[in-house]
Structure 1
């Protein structure tokens, strides 16, 4: 498995992101969905990553550089690749990218009920925190951060 910088517009990455967006839309109301569009994920200030085996995209993740902190975005693993350490590998690369930028902290927003994701973040050293940036507290969001 290779974790690499990529474009969200690559057909396989875009297909996986659309699956992620559809899942989030099926689980949460529109106001609780905070995923970024493909164009937003391709913008300056975003490092978009894929996990690949050959031409197969197994997962995605991104780092949004907000200057005083980094934000983990678009973490998603293809159903057939779950349980293989894909998300952990992507998260480790996001942390490496954030450290390389000198960011002091990583933060993320995730949805309630996404227990496997919550376990991943806790294992990686993330701790619960309050809302940050433009996020507001709500019944569907959980917030985590990790000091780097």
Structure 2
């Protein structure tokens, strides 16, 4: 009998908002993402469940032992065409790393993107987030030379796109 995954993926709920805000604000400085132009200062971080209740949007959390330890979502790319979504706010505490949660979250988010009818998925990140960048590249994302859309994440310096 196969061993159960050491975590659960589920849709974010209102009760998860404060925990996800804390995770995002804890993880981002770990990678030098501080100051303006980063999600750490994005007011959406405080009410993720409401932000991702919008059309063609979804946010999922990773839970282990009834504790939320990470999350990720998709939403239409601000300033982009209607066929492009953005992989957004995918962050994990250290205990969620290296157990397959990132790949499982990526699969879940991309499945949601396809279900919403998106044809491409875009993301922005920081050079130095090496494990995340390896995951993006293993998934089939290709590097872009410049950003797409109008995300407001002026601090990001690595851009990727995936044909769905």
Unmatched 5+ stretches in structure 1: none
Structure 1 position 134, deviation (Å): 1.1
Indicate the residue corresponding to 2:162 in structure 1.
Answer: 146
Structure 1 position 125, deviation (Å): 0.7
Indicate the residue corresponding to 2:61 in structure 1.
Answer: 50
| Contact 2:38 2:155 survives alignment (8 Å) | no
Sort the Cα spacing of 1:64 and 1:137 in 2 relative to 1 into closer, same or farther, 3 A. closer
Structure 1 position 32, deviation (Å): 3.4
| Contact 2:37 2:153 survives alignment (8 Å) | no
**Displacement over 6 Å in runs of 4+:** 136-139
1:118 aligned onto 2:133: yes
Indicate the residue corresponding to 1:132 in structure 2.
Answer: 148
Equivalent-residue separation in structure 1 for 2:95 and 2:129 (angstroms) = 17
What is the CA RMSD across the aligned residues, in angstroms?
2.4
SS of equivalent residue, structure 1 residue 51 = strand
Cα deviation digits, residues 91-127 of structure 1 (max 9, x gap): 1000000010110000001012111111111011111
Higher Cα radius of gyration: 2
Aligned with residue 59 of structure 1, among 70, 86, 93: 70
1:71 aligned onto 2:86: yes
Cα deviation digits, residues 55-98 of structure 1 (max 9, x gap): 12232001112432111111111212210011111110000000
> TM-score, normalised on structure 1?
0.84
1:100 aligned onto 2:115: yes
Which structure has greater strand proportion? 1
Indicate the residue corresponding to 2:101 in structure 1.
Answer: 86
- Structure with bigger RCO (C-alpha 8 Å, 6+ apart): 2
